[in-house]
Structure 1
Amino acid sequence: MRIVESVLPSLPKRPQVILSANDDMALGAIEALQSQGVKPGEILVTGFDAVPEALARVRDGWLAVTADQRRALRCRRR
């Protein structure tokens, strides 16, 4: 969030996409974008983990995509 808040206003042109390593980072970026008056979809934000709050942001148009790791399937014994 702090990076987006500090860097975004100084850019000559807004980015089209913010790629986040995980949903927590994506949610922080969304919070920063909201505080700067950016509307949903003006800057695409991506996440990774498919946590419930991120899925809600996908539904409301703030998060473009989040990837579900399917941890339960990867960790089960055979």
Structure 2
Amino acid sequence: MPRYFLNLRHQPGPDGLAVDPEGDELADVIAVREHALRAARDLIARTQSYNVRDWFVCAFEITDADGRHVLTVPFSDTVPDAGDED
């Protein structure tokens, strides 16, 4: 199973990226996105534990085991669009 790394972009520039040193084995890009959204929701829920003023400007910059960019998942994606509600 492929390994993906959820690197946390919390501000612009090289100092604004927290690199995931371990990664997670996940089946595919769909599973990676779902995993990233769960992780983002968990971080937002524990917001008082971190010095981040606005989680919705954060994103996971996901790379594969070769260091190639696979996907970016903005934390704002954790909130459904108003048009998505039925």
TM-score, normalised to structure 2, is 0.29
Task: State which structure, 1 or 2, has the greater radius of gyration over its C-alpha atoms.
Answer: 1
Q: Which has the higher helix share?
A: 1
* Higher RCO (CA < 8 A, seq sep 6+): 2
